Amino acid sequence: MTILVLGGAGYIGSHTVYELIDKGEDVVVIDNLLTGYKEAVHPKARFYKGDIRDREFLDSVFEKEKIDSVIHFAASSLVGESMEKPLKYYDNNLCGTKILLDAMVAHGIDKIVFSSTAATYGEPERIPILETDKTEPTNTYGETKLSMEKMFKWVGKAHGIRYVSLRYFNACGAHKSGEIGEAHNPETHLLSIILQVPNGQRDAVSIYGDDYDTKDGTCVRDYIHVTDLATAHILAVRYLEFGNESNIFNLGNGVGFTVKEVIECARKVTGHPIPAKISPRRAGDPARLIASSEKAKNILGWRPEYTDMEAIISSAWKWHKSHPQGFKTCK
């Protein structure tokens, strides 16, 4: 049985490939390397460089490899950029998925697990957020992910494809080996930005707003380790292999940390004072996002291992300290 990982050179994709290989799975990776890195692809995975919007390329891989299930990470995922370049997001995320589904139907591949996001909810109506809560995205990124979920639903009904959509909260941390980790250019995610300070790449962290209605005025997020996300994808593939119906799951730790708490914990882990300054709010940031992941725990049997913020930050720090410039081929 071969599992195809689309976007397997990216942050969460590469960690999922490492976990799959660790479990003895046969893995094929497709990535266009626009934001991913060839070095992040596990050496035991068979790698094909190409774009999911290229139907001929997809057909050629599907003809060569006997793919049983697909895990789909190949998407654009920056909230800010999605507001400035919405059509890029519709093209890559929605048109790309349409072409992928066409190819899956043509080649009789009927199982797909894909990355969705907490951004599908928009401003939450309650905390913790349940999968059944209203979905009203406040940015193009979340909107395209929600539309992808709907595309899978209707195409699945017509063509017998079953899917699992995994709505991640704040992915962070790095592989325990310290060999792969987060490497975006520019970095936009909080923890990677914080760790640029002790790494000598930034003088201070900007805290986007300290006047929210939270315990210290800064935004609260649910931080979840990338390896725990990877494990959930594998459980989701198994769930589909066992013949279960299409489903949607939140993935988070169910615990909220403020921006100030994350910075304080990073000071403890790194031993660096990490100066921070208060900046204006960032547009579109909800005050609090915390997941209920009870459904994933009950149905998939998911048990996140990194429930401690210090352990999450330590794993990220191990990666960033040993790879201050990210991967050698960093753009």
Alpha helix (H) residue ranges in 197-280: 226-241, 259-270
Tokens 């990490």 correspond to what residue? 274
Among 115, 170, 292, 314, binds ligand UDP (CB under 6 A): 170
Longest dimension (CA), the chain: 57
Dist CA 323 CA 310 (whole Å): 20
Binding of ligand UDP at residue 233 (CB under 6 A)? no
Closest distance between ligand UDP and the C-beta of residue 192, in Å? 8
Token readout for 23 is 């479990």
Place of tokens 């596990």: 42
Contact criterion met (CB below 8 Å) for 209 and 47: no
- Separation CA 79–CA 182 (nearest Å): 17
Q: What are phi and psi of 136, to 5 degrees?
A: -135, 80
Minimum separation from the CB atom of position 11 to ligand UDP (A): 12
189 binds ligand UDP (CB under 6 A): yes
**From candidates 259, 296, 309, 312, binder to ligand UDP by CB under 6 A:** 259
Regarding 193 and contact with ligand UDP (CB under 6 A), the answer is: yes
Nearer to ligand UDP, 167 or 221 (CB): 221
CB within 8 Å of 177: residues ≥ 6 apart: none
- The verdict on whether 141 is a catalytic residue reads yes
Residue 221 C-beta: closest distance to ligand UDP, Å: 5
Q: Which range of residues in 44-52, 176-184, 189-197, 311-319 is near ligand UDP by CB under 6 A?
A: 189-197
Q: Which of 18, 121, 141, 163 is catalytic?
A: 141
Residue number, 52 or 195, with CB nearest to ligand UDP: 195
Q: Is 266 in the site for ligand UDP (CB under 6 A)?
A: no
3-state secondary structure of 62: helix
Burial-class residue 56 by CB neighbours within 10 Å (0-12, 13-18, 19+).
exposed
Binding mask 280-319 for ligand UDP (x = CB under 6 A): --x--x----------------------------------
| 39/330 Cα distance (integer angstroms) | 10
Q: How far is the CB of 25 from ligand UDP (least distance, A)?
A: 29
Q: How far apart are CA 293 and CA 306, in angstroms?
A: 14
Smallest gap from Cβ 162 to ligand UDP, in A, equals: 28
For residue 57, CA distances in Å to 1, 34, 39 come to 21, 16, 22
Residue closer to ligand UDP by CB (options 64, 282) is 282
Residue number, 268 or 282, with CB nearest to ligand UDP: 282
Residue 225's Cβ-count burial label (10 Å; 0-12, 13-18, 19+) is: buried
Closer by beta carbon to ligand UDP, 279 or else 298: 279
* Residue numbers 52-91 binding ligand UDP by CB under 6 A: 79
Give residue 172's identity as a one-letter amino acid code.
C
Nearer to ligand UDP (CB atom), residue 20 or residue 263: 263
Q: How far is the CB of 257 from ligand UDP (least distance, A)?
A: 9
Binding region for ligand UDP (CB under 6 A): 79, 170, 188-190, 193, 205-208, 219, 221, 259, 282, 285
Give the residue numbers annotated as catalytic, written as ranges.
141
